[in-house]
Amino acid sequence: MATCETTSHELAIHGGVPVRDTLLPYGRQSISEESIQTVVGVLRSDWLTTGPKIPEFEQAFAKYVAADYAVSFSSGTAALHGAAFAAGLESGKEAITTPLTFAATANCILYTGATPVFADVSPRTLNLDPGEVAGRISSRTRALIPVDYAGHPAELEAFLELADKHGLIVIEDACHALGAAYKNRRIGSISHMTVFSFHPVKHLTTGEGGMVTTNDAGLAETLRRFRNHGISSDARSRQASGQWFYEMVLLGFNYRLTDIACALGLQQLNNLDGNLSRRRAITASYKAGLAIALMTFPAPNWHTNNSSAFQCFMA
């Protein structure tokens, strides 16, 4: 596979050990020549956005994570906002989440006018502790938002049990965890909604981008409307049907992912398993080769098949 990976670096010898002459980059994506040509094909087509690449990418992504529906967004943050809205968060309601995450996890609660309530993490996994969450559930709670921190899935069964008992929605922030598995099920179809990011440091990139997966047709429809101004149909379906009438049925946003990005996403999805193996191999070589200890997470047994290469990124 041809890639856009950057150039080799001079290695200076210090104390007998080869050392790079530049700092490690913030991130480095791997994009095949075939992907570049596919994106160029979209640039030459009629549909730069709201075109055919969007359902193509969404359906392929849903199949990869074994979910019934996948709804693309312009970023992981926008996808979290959509999920928070679809869960019914609004002023006067609360969502319980972890303090140990990227800012967007809690910000999405504030965007809806609801209040974030932080519960502590388990020192064993650094993931949200279900016992701590249980103690914070009140009549105002509407959603639980665990994060699969550094690629390790949270204790999803415990959160789903709490959600069943109290009539709540679980929004799983899986922005670190595409390709990870929880008890032999791939992350993406377990929680009521699962959110992914396609920022360039993630496992699959579309430049910027995000996705919500769900098995609930009603949630999927709300998510589609929310990312398209709250409008009941999109431009391509109106062109296909010849029906130009539409209604704005809720207050939404322009959070659409473009066809250009979706074409790249489809190609990245084809290469995902190979890229995940490469990340795991890099993690293993850091662990084996570094004299200093990396920050590592003692993993419960459901974590065996995860995308733990994020450990390097987070350390």
Ligand X SMILES: Cc1ncc(COP(=O)(O)O)c(C=O)c1O
Instruction: Write out the catalytic residue numbers.
Output: 202
- Comparison of 169 and 174: residue with beta carbon closer to ligand X: 174
Residue nearest to ligand X (CB): 76
Place of tokens 């319980």: 96
- Comparison of 71 and 104: residue with beta carbon closer to ligand X: 104
Tokens representing 152 are 């390790």
What is the closest distance, in whole angstroms, from the C-beta atom of residue 237 to ligand X in the complex? 26
Which burial class, exposed, middle or buried, applies to 214 when counting CB atoms under 10 A from its CB (0-12, 13-18, 19+)? Answer: buried
What is the closest distance, in whole angstroms, from the C-beta atom of residue 96 to ligand X in the complex? 16
What is the closest distance, in whole angstroms, from the C-beta atom of residue 202 to ligand X in the complex? 7
- Comparison of 235 and 272: residue with beta carbon closer to ligand X: 272
**Angle at the Cα of 205 (from 57 to 144), degrees rounded to 5?**
80
What is the closest distance, in whole angstroms, from the C-beta atom of residue 171 to ligand X in the complex? 11
What is the closest distance, in whole angstroms, from the C-beta atom of residue 303 to ligand X in the complex? 17
Place of tokens 């856009």: 4
Binding site for ligand X (CB under 6 A): 75-77, 80, 101-102, 104-105, 147, 173, 175-176, 197, 199, 210
- Comparison of 100 and 235: residue with beta carbon closer to ligand X: 100
- Comparison of 75 and 268: residue with beta carbon closer to ligand X: 75
What is the closest distance, in whole angstroms, from the C-beta atom of residue 198 to ligand X in the complex? 6
Alpha carbon distance 213, 144 (integer Å) = 16
- Comparison of 246 and 313: residue with beta carbon closer to ligand X: 313
Max intra-chain CA distance, the chain? 73
